[in-house]
Structure 1
Amino acid sequence: MSNNILAWTKNAIEQREQAAREACDDGEGRWHSGWRSENKREDGETGGERIGDERDEHALCNEGRRSSEAQSIHIALNDPASVLRRCAADRKLLELHGDRCHSCPAKGATGYCDEWTEFDCGDVCPVVTAVGESYGWAENEKTTSARPAWLAKVTSFAFRRTVTRSRQEAAEHHVCFTVVVTIGGETAIGREAEVQMPIADAERLGQQMLRIATYQREQMTARPTTDSPDAASAGQAPPTEGDQTA
């Protein structure tokens, strides 16, 4: 999905840039509104609403229908120069957040914002999604291009392991646990994998998991029980049924 939304968004940016450059008409593309109310029009002046550029030449003039002041100002604020600036800024965002390993704040399924969410090269960062949506990346395009969800189920408690790659290198201490890869709830590979994490990464992951677990527990305990009239009328499920994760 990452490559799909990146390619789509980059193509959309190129189209906007091309249209903006052509609209500059060999100028800088800085437009201003020439809207004036009826009582400020000169004798013989038509009802057209003029948009001028930095050379004080007509960039847009509607002689057939009178535009409102708000419409005239809006057009000028979205002149070719501003479009080119936004396109350049969006390219920088895609360069920083698109198809690369990095950390970025993101909200999980619970709505909790994790400031250190890790994104791999094939993952879609929320910043990339936001930029794509600003150019019209539709919901159906996101769902049709999404890949099947591969998950990993933890199959052991954490344990220690010391790794020595060579006699010349110092031993590395890791926190480890085992997982099995699943897809659609079924085992996908048929064998366990061992996850090895340096101590610093394990500490950070543990802190993140503790914050999320605390938040979810607070959400669970804040709900009315199924025996209460409020819960029954609202159709709420008990925490043991409504808060399971695969």
Structure 2
Amino acid sequence: MEIKSNNTVIKPQGLPSHIEDLYQKLKVEFLNNRTNSPDLNVLVIDNIDKVYENGFQAVFGTSFFLKKGEFLSLLGPSGCGKTTTLRAIAGLDTATSGQIYINGADVTYSEPIDRDITMVFQNYALFPHLSVRKNITFGLDANPSKIGKEAKYYKEEKFIKNKINNLKQIQNDIVNLLKIKQKNQALLEKIQKHQAIYDKLKNKQSKKALSLFFKINGW
């Protein structure tokens, strides 16, 4: 890949043969298994590109699909297009080309509010001066005493009355997920942590957080 002085990325004309073979194999598998049926695929990303006005191309011909109940992780080095892809799915950015289907509907050019999708950012959209309970009910015009059936999961963690700035990193993750669930929206979850934070987490804590995630979403 060549990067010019103006930060424009030039897509290479050719790939190593073994990479090209793998790419073609995955593309064929994708095309053979793709379906627009909402009963099978809740998300279809079909050959999307994203090129910004300054000529920088962040996403190159990305395609994948997600069936109902599946959990997907996008892996790759910094700057490879993971966040841009998620922003395109959520409608925060518009794909330059390609299509995005959610539950069988083409939402490529739909507004974010019409997609019933929520994106959780690396920098949490939580209010540090409020308690966990008030963060979850903020903006819902709801009685703070009625935080939904998920309250038992908060009580298990015993931090429902804590201030956000007193929570551990892993507890912030849980609050974010429960906040989304409380709004009754479909979940697009992206938690991108520094590796150093994960290294400090005990395996038991990680498993507990993941277990809570699946409980909350009924998987």
Pick the structure with more strand per residue. Answer: 1
TM-score after normalising by structure 2: 0.27
- TM (normalized to structure 1)? 0.25
Is the helix fraction higher in 1 or 2? 1
